[in-house]
A and B are shown apart, each in its own frame.
Chain A
Amino acid sequence: MKCQHCEKPATFHVTEITGSEEEREVQEVHLCEICFREYISQPEEPVEPAASLLGALAQQFKIGKTAEKLAKLDAQTCPVCGISFQEFRQVGRLGCPHDYQSFGDELEPLLLNIHGAVEHKGKRPKRGASQRQGELLRLRREMQEAIEREDYERASELRDEIRGREVD
């Protein structure tokens, strides 16, 4: 087989894969060594930056938001764990499972950006448990706060309630 770019025998057979995942296009290219070197040193169209979370976050929040609106978003906190949206935005880690609800409106476009989807497909736990999720978290935090303000009566009430639930 001859090189597609000159007359020399082709020694490199490249399979080019282009297109999206759904429509993968495969193209065979046959080249001699010299043409091959040239071929691979060609700059390609720039590759989109990898799905880096902080990058995606920054991108999403720059678009169409006034400073005032941003500040308001940042000040939101999760009622269960107390993390602010600003903290999440800075470190890229959420504070508790409930944040996915608390910051749902902001997370939705982010998830779409990262995963191209917002609905889980795949394995599900056999035991349905979503009802009580978050409650223990909230109670523990309330107990912690009660201790901090030295309201020991409330703290011990909360402790009993937590114990009762932990047994379930």
Chain B
Amino acid sequence: MKLDDMTQRCGEWLRGSGPEADIVMSSRIRLARNLADFPFIRRCTPVDRQAIVKAVDKRVLKDAARKDAGLDKILLIDVNKLERVDRQFLVERQLISRELSESEGAAAVAINESETFGLMINEEDHLRLQVMHSGFDLTGAWERISRIDDFLEAKLTYAFDDRLGFLTACPTNVGTGMRVSVMLHLPALVLTRQLEKVFRALQKISLAVRGLYGEGSQASGHFYQISNQITLGRSEEELIEQVSDVVPMIIEYERKAREFLIKESQKDLHDRVSRAYALLCGAQTISSEETMDLLSSVRMGVNLGLIHDLEIPVINKLFIHTQPAHLQKIRGGSLDRADRNIERAMYLRQNLRPDGNGSSKN
């Protein structure tokens, strides 16, 4: 498996299956872990950083028993050796954070073939494990990541304190080191302007809302990540439950808003969806923001049965593949903004037109 092969396919978490997949794009759990024998990243020497990557590679990724833990077909990518566009490419695929992509000094990411598991090495913490599943499946994600965590723990010595739990570079992650997040597609709540209200309620129960690309990112494409803020004093199961309890309510709000739009303004809604689809199929140059916005309408249109000749996985893929680094990787060369907009429009036409400049299925 090589990085360049990844442009031909997309992560399994985009396949649009799993419970409530029309509204829940993905469920993700990440664990922050540090090795007891090294200082936290901020105080690591370049030699320390290399030693950490080496230790993980040797003791975990090359261990004979890794397959039993579900660590099969792992690709270890040295982030330092990557070109800027490749780093950005991994960020767009949600495999590494912006922080890791900008890091200086040894840093790496290990990913599995289906891109549902990722292990960032030398990010804010020595290790950041993540498991990402399609649809609303936190239980499945937790079972999997916990098993991988057990395997790592048997091979490496984690920094752990009996009272405070897993020790992390930032006190906001100490304890379980766990962030549980669910990515929701909420276009109808945006259209009916109810979103803010829902989010204010979430803040009151100390859940955080972020955009598609996590902390500080814009909520483009009407995607919102709901996640826990607290990591200490509650067990992993309790943290999962906190998010799991609230997600069905938000799904219900979104469904009601969709029903309302269908009932009260079906013509307007149908018009909005059809125009969005037509624009995406016909545009000659288009920005990333506009694309996300239109794809969001089309995605809702498919889920509501207003568009019949398109499948959700195709749209899910387009959200990711029309981003700057992806376009450049697919095209095989660096493009400035204007060229990217032209390339993006062409890519959309090829992937969306039912009459086939390229197929509508991947």
Contact = CB atoms under 8 A, between A and B. Distances in A.
Interface stretch (A67-75, A90-98, A149-157): A90-98
25 contacts: A11-B260, A15-B249, A19-B204, A40-B193, A53-B172, A83-B42, A94-B171, A96-B38, A110-B171, A115-B175, A115-B232, A117-B230, A117-B232, A118-B163, A118-B232, A120-B165, A120-B166, A122-B178, A122-B236, A122-B237, A122-B238, A124-B165, A129-B160, A133-B157, A136-B38
B206 A21 contact: yes
Contacts of B175: 115, 117, 120-122
Interface in A22-55: 24, 33, 37, 40, 44, 47-48, 50-51, 53
Given A40-B193, A137-B38, A123 B161 contact: no
Contacts of A44: 200
Interface of B: 34, 36-43, 45, 48, 124, 146, 149-150, 153-154, 157-167, 169-172, 174-176, 178, 193-194, 196-197, 200-201, 203-206, 208, 229-238, 242, 249, 253, 256, 260, 264
Instruction: Specify which of B37, B153, B178 lies most central, judged by the most chain A CB atoms within 10 Å of its CB.
Output: B37
A46 B252 CA distance: 26
A133 B161 CA distance: 10
B200 A40 contact: no
Contact of B204 (A17, A107, A126): A17
Interface residues of A, number: 62
Contact of B37 (A19, A81, A116, A136): A136
Given A100-B174, A122-B176, A126-B150, A93 B264 contact: no
Nearest to B160: A125
Contacts, number: 179
A53 B229 CA distance: 11
Contact of A94 (B146, B170, B231): B170
Counting from the closest, the 5 A-B pairs by CB-CB distance are A117-B233, A120-B165, A122-B235, A97-B159, A115-B232
Given A47-B200, A97-B36, A117-B233, 15 more contacts: A16-B201, A33-B264, A51-B230, A93-B42, A100-B174, A117-B230, A120-B175, A121-B175, A121-B235, A122-B176, A125-B160, A127-B154, A129-B158, A130-B160, A137-B38
Given A111-B174, A127-B154, A129-B36, A12 B234 contact: no
Interface in A1-26: 11-21, 24
Contact of A127 (B157, B165, B204): B157
A79 interface: no
Contacts of A33: 264
